[in-house]
Copies of this chain bind each other. A is one copy, B any other.
Amino acid sequence: MLVVMKAHATEEEIRKVCERIEALGYRAHPIPGTQRTAIGITGNAGEVDIGSLESMPGVAECIPVSKPYKLVSRDVKEEDTIIRIPVRQPDGTTAETTIGGASVALIAGPCAIESYEQAMAVADCLRKAGVRLFRGGAYKPRTSPYSFQGLGEAGLKILAEVRERFGLGIVTEAVDNESLELVEQYADVIQIGARNMQNFSLLKRAGRARKPVLLKRGMSATLDEFLMAAEYILAEGNYQVILCERGVRTFSDFTRNTLDLAVIPAVKRRSHLPILVDPSHGTGRRHKVLPLSRAAVAVGADGLLVEVHPDPDRALSDGMQSLIPEEFLQLQQEVRLIAAVLNRTVN
């Protein structure tokens, strides 16, 4: 159920509708738009009694929402959501970078944080290239219990140092409630990986975090399941969600996953949330990262999540799909030109 307020409804009117909703035992989610505010109602398994709401001052209409997702839907919020990420710079000022809207975000860094030296080397080079968001895993979900699982909190500390020295915003993955607690403290964006897309307990915890959440599509998630997973986060009150396509699992065996780029315009029609593409996991092959990055920006993605490693052949994880810094610079240059065709700039 969705309550759409009149264009000139007052703050007071909005507050009173929310109170009434809560009094009825539901949860109210006011979502301000440029024209008017909509209020999503969640927690209603069955029917909400519309009558008492529709007659309240300032209410334009009550819309029963038949789609399984509500808060992520464009029905609730027509304008694109823009995620603002303030990052403290070495000089003490704060620089804000955004995801969504007119610019295309480049998030780059190694698959896993392996050491202080490795992290600083990549960060230095990316900073010089003008990159503003740094990715790198401190907690790595690995198929085998015997593979490198990440440095844990020590890795998070290295990431914090990357921010301090280079002013780069930090994007890193949380794999359970415990690590999310720490990631929330150290990072600027909390990543939820593909394998955890339907770890609903983790999604709910992320919904209570006060940092933006980057949610990757599960390996066999339908579009509805993907948006419903995001809905879990919004339903808990965290509206700063960034989606990310990273390839799905199919019979096709020449790439590690099959990058489903049509999901970008499909998400854009249904949802106001920004969506990125991860061409590194999406292909699993270094020489396919560049062409698929161009394609991702051309199809309308709001950004890229790219693995860069100073020495991919010695990477502790996913070296096969990491770019060397020189290749990343070429990628940056090419997607800048593609973005320009769509009247977008690259961050």
Contacts from A to B (Cβ < 8 Å): 42-45, 68-69, 141-149, 175-179, 195-196, 198-202, 204, 219-220, 222-225, 228, 231-232, 235, 248-255, 258-266, 269, 282-283, 287-288, 291-292, 294-300, 334, 337-338, 341-342
Contact = CB atoms under 8 A, between A and B. Distances in A.
A260 B265 contact: no
Nearest to A296: B295
A276 to B, nearest CB: 15
A263 B259 contact: no
Given A45-B148, A298-B299, 19 more contacts: A143-B228, A175-B201, A176-B176, A177-B177, A178-B201, A195-B200, A220-B249, A222-B252, A222-B253, A222-B254, A250-B260, A253-B253, A254-B262, A254-B266, A255-B262, A258-B260, A294-B299, A294-B341, A338-B338
Most-contacted residue by chain B among A179, A200, A235, A250 (CB, 10 A):
A200
A295 B291 CA distance: 9
Contact of A266 (B198, B204, B255, B300): B255
A342 to B, nearest CB: 8
Most-contacted residue by chain B among A45, A269, A282, A338 (CB, 10 A):
A338
Given A287-B269, A292-B299, A250 B250 contact: yes
A65 to B, nearest CB: 10
Nearest to A222: B253
**Stoichiometry (number of copies):** 4
Contacts of A296: 295
A250 B258 contact: yes
14 contacts: A68-B143, A143-B198, A145-B228, A199-B199, A220-B220, A220-B251, A223-B252, A248-B251, A253-B253, A255-B262, A258-B258, A262-B283, A265-B292, A294-B341
Question: Ordered nearest first, which 9 A-B pairs have the shortest CB separation?
Answer: A176-B201, A220-B220, A298-B298, A295-B295, A195-B198, A295-B299, A294-B298, A337-B341, A223-B254
Contacts of A199: 176, 195-196, 199
B259 A248 contact: no
Contacts of A253: 222-223, 253
A329 B149 CA distance: 47
Given A201-B176, A252-B260, A291 B298 contact: yes
